[in-house]
Chain A
Amino acid sequence: MTDTGRMTSTARPPLSTARPLLRVRDVAMAFPGRRRGTAPVRAVDGISFDVAPGETLGLVGESGCGKSTTGRMIVRLLEPTSGSITYDGRDISHLSQRELKPLRRELQMVFQDPHSSLNPRQTVARIISDPLLTQGSSAADARKRAAELMDLVGLIPEHMDRYPHEFSGGQAQRIGIARSLATSPRLVVADEPVSALDVSVQAQIVNLMERLQQELGLAYLFIAHDLSVVKRVCDRVAVMYLGRIVEIGDKHQVYAAPAHPYTRALLSAVPLPDPAAERARERITLLGDPPSPAAPPPGCTFHPRCPKARALCRTEAPLLRIAAPGEGREVACHFPEAA
């Protein structure tokens, strides 16, 4: 069931400079405060990015940074408070559920915990064909397609009448992926798709998602806290901190020479599976925990933990701007690292 042999090339289609598949502009999500009279919590606070057809954008950050909320807004499980989400040229930010239904074919989601996102009382065939039935396919067609999809994701089609508990975690995630692909989507939002899986199984799912992207021309928004996995999977990466994007750009640029002090610290905090490299490397240890989005610090929200913070950082929030001339990478820092 390994996917290693089936991948022929890692080359991706060239990124089109024409119309992006997904365009996110100044999107914000404010949840009401827990008690009356408390200020709303701005879980996402004005973010903008594009996803090109066939591209993978990685969205990374720590818990509470707003990455999952962003994913949920894009598939419109949540309605953004402000800003616009444009899918294939059409503004979908405030469409009603009825208007969204035809779009759900093209915009799908894969969840973190495969078992809790599969109905335990439905057979795998039923789970995978559910999106098709919703979209008006006949039962026979949907069942046939479910068998094809199981084969596509490396499951045995003969197992289609089994129930989710009969599958291991990795297999269950394959079922979740098969379901997301049932309607031939063009964009899949994957929210921590491998973090609930055993280490020895994660690579199988990463390889599967890469192969499917090649074969089907999918675009992914890949949300994860594991920077190593994101580096492997994505073309570009956006780093979020407290509801905002602090750095976004080509993954090679961002990983090789992070411009934002937070990106630097985040990368240096990831333990490497190599004791010699671990002892040799210089680590930037941040002080404290990420602050609560309910009470964000003034100015740059990272300044209380930033080793480079100066007076300006305490008062003025930096805007996302091009880091260096000729670079596509953008960074929100008054004093970015020289590339």
Chain B
Amino acid sequence: MTAPQLSMTETHALLSVRDLSVTFATKRGPVRAVDSLSFDMHRGRTLGIVGESGSGKSVTSMAVLGLHTGAEITGSISLDGQELVGLPERELNRLRGRRMAMIFQDPLSSLHPYYTVGEQIAEHHRVHFGSRRSVARRRAVEMLAEVGIPEPERRAGEYPHQFSGGMRQRVMIAMALVCEPELLIADEPTTALDVTVQAQILELIARLQEERGLAVVLITHDLGVVARVAHDVLVMYGGRAVEQAPVDALFAHPAHPYTRGLLDSLPRLDDADDAPLRAIPGSPPSLLAPAPGCAFAPRCARAAAASPSERLRCETERPLLSGPAGLPQVLDSARTGGTPLAACHFPGFPASEGVAS
């Protein structure tokens, strides 16, 4: 599953997100769940968005699909040149399912219990293409076969509860892809599944992505899943992007102390020694009272080891996502082998000097 090499001239992104912020009004004050996020997605690539609960990874994907009601969304989300922020619901409905689709963690709650899975998949096709019932039904059966459901003709006539968890997630994928969207957003698609079934679903997503040239956004908390399927990775913390890099670079040389800390704290199957895990102290930040500086500073070993003036900078000045040269850049999934970006005043880039870690 090597990353397809895109020529550097192919700069037209399928999905382009710029300065996206999503703010919810709550009883205890406004919560900025996503804060000034920018990234580009190209066809044929998988972007893994990693983060813990409250990091903003799911809020981002819902914003792309225009599924937030009552949230204040600023910035720009453009799909193949078309601006999605502020688009009327009717227009969004035409795009959802047709050009971009989403699969969720829990397939059972996303499927209607009263209709057969064949009817539900076929309905998507009829709504978006105005196809005849028989045509839509045939497409549904073809899709079930494509996602690896045995006896698709018969199973199309069954109800969601008659499917196991893994098979239901296959049904969701069939439904998401029946109208041949270009962008697939998968939000923790395997978190509710057993590990042997997870392996099957990840393989399926990777295969369909290659065959159809999909752009896939895979949202997960599991760095192992990211390592298996993503080409590029965006690490989020406290609603902000803290690091973005091609997958190999990210795992080999995590530049942000949070990414480094996460990787160090994971128990690993391929780890021989039994030394205690290097835990990150503290807890993820509250979005109700965001830090003025770096959200990770209170837990950061690098900030703790820094001089008082440097630490003050971490605590008060918000670091921007930038490369080793220090210039703020926008994350772009086509820059394979390109420079990793980190939002840190003292990033640990491989060749950089004066790193405090």
Contacts and interface: CB of A to CB of B under 8 A. Distances in A.
A290 B181 CA distance: 32
Contact of A203 (B1, B198, B267): B267
15 contacts: A1-B282, A4-B278, A4-B279, A62-B195, A63-B194, A198-B283, A200-B262, A203-B266, A228-B269, A255-B269, A266-B195, A269-B196, A271-B228, A272-B270, A273-B224
A168 B298 CA distance: 15
B164 A285 contact: no
A285 B203 contact: yes
Contacts of A232: 267, 274, 277
A294 interface: no
A82 interface: no
Contacts of B274: 10, 232
Nearest to B225: A271
Contacts of B247: 275
Q: Classify the secondary structure of A's interface with B.
A: helix
B202 interface: yes
B166 A271 contact: no
Interface string B236-257: 0000000000011001100000
Which interface residue of B227, B247, B267 has the most chain A CB atoms within 10 A?
B267
Contacts of B263: 273
A169 interface: yes
A4 B276 CA distance: 6
A198 B284 contact: yes
B67 interface: no
Contact of B269 (A1, A3, A267): A267
Contact of B265 (A10, A203, A227, A255): A203
A324 B297 CA distance: 53
Given A201-B283, A275-B248, A289 B166 contact: yes
A156 interface: no
Interface residues of A, number: 52
A62 B2 CA distance: 30
Given A206-B267, A289-B164, A289-B194, A272 B227 contact: yes
A231 B267 contact: yes
A193 interface: no
Contacts of A202: 265
Interface in A51-77: 62-63
Interface of A: 1-4, 7, 10, 62-63, 168-171, 198-204, 206-207, 210, 225, 227-229, 231-232, 255, 265-279, 283, 285-290, 305
Nearest to B270: A272
Given A198-B284, A289-B197, 11 more contacts: A2-B280, A169-B283, A198-B283, A200-B262, A200-B280, A207-B276, A229-B267, A272-B268, A273-B263, A275-B247, A278-B224
A279 B261 contact: no
B117 to A, nearest CB: 16
A274 B278 contact: no
B276 A204 contact: no
A121 B55 CA distance: 29
B279 A2 contact: yes
B11 interface: no
Given A198-B53, A279-B1, A286 B266 contact: no
A1 B281 contact: yes
A210 B274 CA distance: 11
Which interface residue of B222, B224, B283 has the most chain A CB atoms within 10 A?
B283
Interface string B19-36: 000000000000000000
Which interface residue of A199, A267, A283 has the most chain B CB atoms within 10 A?
A199
Contacts of B258: 200
Contacts of A225: 194-195
Interface string B277-314: 11111111000000000000001000000000000000
A210 B226 CA distance: 28
Contacts of A269: 195-196, 198-199
A153 B212 CA distance: 51
Contacts of A277: 227, 270
A273 B223 contact: yes
B167 interface: yes
> Which 4 interchain pairs have the tightest Cβ spacing?
A271-B224, A203-B279, A62-B194, A203-B277
A60 to B, nearest CB: 10
B72 interface: no
B279 A207 contact: yes
A305 B197 CA distance: 12
Interface in B129-166: 164-166
B276 A3 contact: yes
Which interface residue of A200, A202, A229, A277 has the most chain B CB atoms within 10 A?
A200
Contacts of B80: none
